[in-house]
Amino acid sequence: MSGAQTGLAPSLEDVQRLAEAAVAALPDWALQAAGPFLLRVEDFASQEVLDDLGIEDPFELTGLYDGVALTERRHDDLPGPPDTVWLYRRPILDEWIDRGDVTLEALVAHVLVHELAHHFGWSDERIATIDRWWD
């Protein structure tokens, strides 16, 4: 990573590369089921997104799936904006430092997979039955 090589925090581009590597490492069935989606990395969610979600502290949101879950789509839906998985660099880095027991690559992959699970229509509760990340 360029940031790590210079002694600086990983950049947006560094986290984007980690996220793209995590997508490339997904099993074929997951990539086929997901279909096309955009992958975006920003420092924080926009104030509008935070307000919509009722989140006051921008460090509380590490990622977001923005789109219509596959389970909610209908064959006669008109095309809309592309589904997007957002990863938020600063909250991810904050969690990574706080945890101290996981690589940044693993954390980025975890957040990405969590957001893709929302794309599949899974609730946080269902994801927690499969991915007990906090244990």
Task: Supply the pLDDT for residue 46.
Answer: 96
CA distance 12 to 19: 10
pTM (predicted TM-score):
0.80
In order of their start, the domains of the chain are 10-130 (3.30.2010.20)
Mean pLDDT of 94-99: 94
Please say whether the beta carbons of 36 and 82 come within 8 A. Answer: yes
Task: Supply the pLDDT for residue 27.
Answer: 82
CA distance 98 to 76: 46
Residue 41 sits at φ, ψ, to 5 deg, of -120, 125
Mean pLDDT of 55-72: 84
Sign of CA dihedral 17, 100, 106, 118: negative
- Given a cut of 60, is residue 4 above it in pLDDT? no
- Given a cut of 70, is residue 80 above it in pLDDT? no
CA distance 20 to 40: 10
